[in-house]
Structure 1
Amino acid sequence: MHIAAEVPAPVSRPKRRKALWLIALAATTALGGLTYAFTGVEDTVGEGLQERPMACSEAMYAMGWVLPDHASDQRCTELSGGLAGHTQSGIFRMPRADARSWLASLPGERNRPGGVGSDSVVERKEGLALGILRPPGSLQADEVRVDVRWEGEDTAAVTFETFDY
């Protein structure tokens, strides 16, 4: 007894063309999406971002804060547009002796990492740090990080950056 194996019917040419066309369409769509992801979004961010210098007192006011007395060497910027939302950053110098009390006076919900005091100021060998969630000013920031670095016996460099998630 001889059993003949069933041979599948050949795929017709119209179905084969349709399948190839769908594969080509899917590949083109995928490549187009990847191209946009690597170039289109980058162009949008690059074109949409605007950085401008601003007074540090203005940046502090927008967060509901006051620039410390005797602040010097102030350089602050505002970055807006694109995917960045609206952020501010800056650096200034102030008397080292006033740094902790100034940080402790800043209003806003404290980001309380483990092992810090009741004022949420983190003490380090090289300086101080503080995180504020949603500062009370007009700037719609989700977080502000303030870092103080000792520059000598009398001077501290203060940097801050806002984050809009």
Structure 2
Amino acid sequence: MHIATEIPAPAPRPKRRKAPWLIALAAAAALGGLTYAFTGGEDTVEGFQERPMACSEAMYAMGWVLPDPASDQRCTELSGGLAGHTQSGTFRMARADARPWLASLDGERYPPDGAGSGSVVERKEGLALEILRPTGSLQASRVKVDVRWEGEDTAVVTFETFD
């Protein structure tokens, strides 16, 4: 005689909800892809476009000459929006040539950071200079140049233009 025993069916599994963060992550990825597709991959923020440029080109636009030799050059141009057209960059040069190069830059001298002198300002960590209305074709109202000593022989130059 065979007795049939009934095996109970397993309890239904509760439906798992997808984590809200997973949905948000997927939406952000999709939006990022669409933004990239419509802007061509360029960096854009509220109408601004940033593009890399040669530091020699940036110096030329201000009526200046890039020191020779200059290494590790990284310069960019930001255009559009209310900012108009600005440039910034950094490069390395010989420390011994930094002061003469700064002194050679054309434009009306402005005391950097409220310093009392209208020329190159020497600080413990390097040099600073601000120039109003550089002579080149770039319509900048002011250029700030900072030089930071990097060892006995090298200086790192950073510049930024303001419309």
SS at match of 1:102: helix
After superposition, the C-alpha distances for 1:75-122 in whole angstroms (9 at most, x for unaligned) are 000000011110000000000000000000000011035432x6x001
After superposition, the C-alpha distances for 1:106-145 in whole angstroms (9 at most, x for unaligned) are 00011035432x6x00100000000000000000000000
User: Which residue of structure 2 lines up, in the alignment, with residue 89 of structure 1?
Assistant: 88
Aligned sequence identity (%): 83
User: Which residue of structure 2 lines up, in the alignment, with residue 38 of structure 1?
Assistant: none
Count of aligned pairs between the two proteins: 118
CA separation in 2, counterparts of 1:124 and 1:90?
21
CA separation in 2, counterparts of 1:46 and 1:133?
27
The one-letter code sitting in structure 2 at the alignment partner of 1:147 is D
User: Which residue of structure 2 lines up, in the alignment, with residue 64 of structure 1?
Assistant: 63
User: Which residue of structure 2 lines up, in the alignment, with residue 99 of structure 1?
Assistant: 98
CA separation in 2, counterparts of 1:90 and 1:62?
13
The one-letter code sitting in structure 1 at the alignment partner of 2:92 is R
The answer to whether the 8 A contact 2:92-2:154 is kept is: yes
SS at match of 2:145: strand
The one-letter code sitting in structure 2 at the alignment partner of 1:109 is E
User: Which residue of structure 1 lines up, in the alignment, with residue 116 of structure 2?
Assistant: 115
CA separation in 1, counterparts of 2:92 and 2:45?
31
**Alignment partner of 1:135 is 2:105:** no
Is there any run of 5+ residues in structure 2 with no aligned partner, and where? 1-43
Give 1 or 2: higher strand fraction.
2
The one-letter code sitting in structure 2 at the alignment partner of 1:140 is Q
The one-letter code sitting in structure 2 at the alignment partner of 1:103 is L
CA separation in 1, counterparts of 2:162 and 2:148?
20
After superposition, the C-alpha distances for 1:16-43 in whole angstroms (9 at most, x for unaligned) are xxxxxxxxxxxxxxxxxxxxxxxxxxxx
Is there any run of 5+ residues in structure 1 with no aligned partner, and where? 1-44
TM-score normalised per structure 2: 0.70
TM-score normalised per structure 1: 0.69
Regions of 4+ moved over 2 Å:
112-116
The answer to whether the 8 A contact 2:115-2:121 is kept is: no
CA separation in 1, counterparts of 2:47 and 2:138?
19
CA separation in 2, counterparts of 1:115 and 1:59?
28
How many angstroms does 1:61 deviate by? 0.1
- Written as runs of structure 1 = structure 2, the 5 A alignment for 1:1-165 is 46-112=45-111, 113-116=114-117, 120-164=119-163
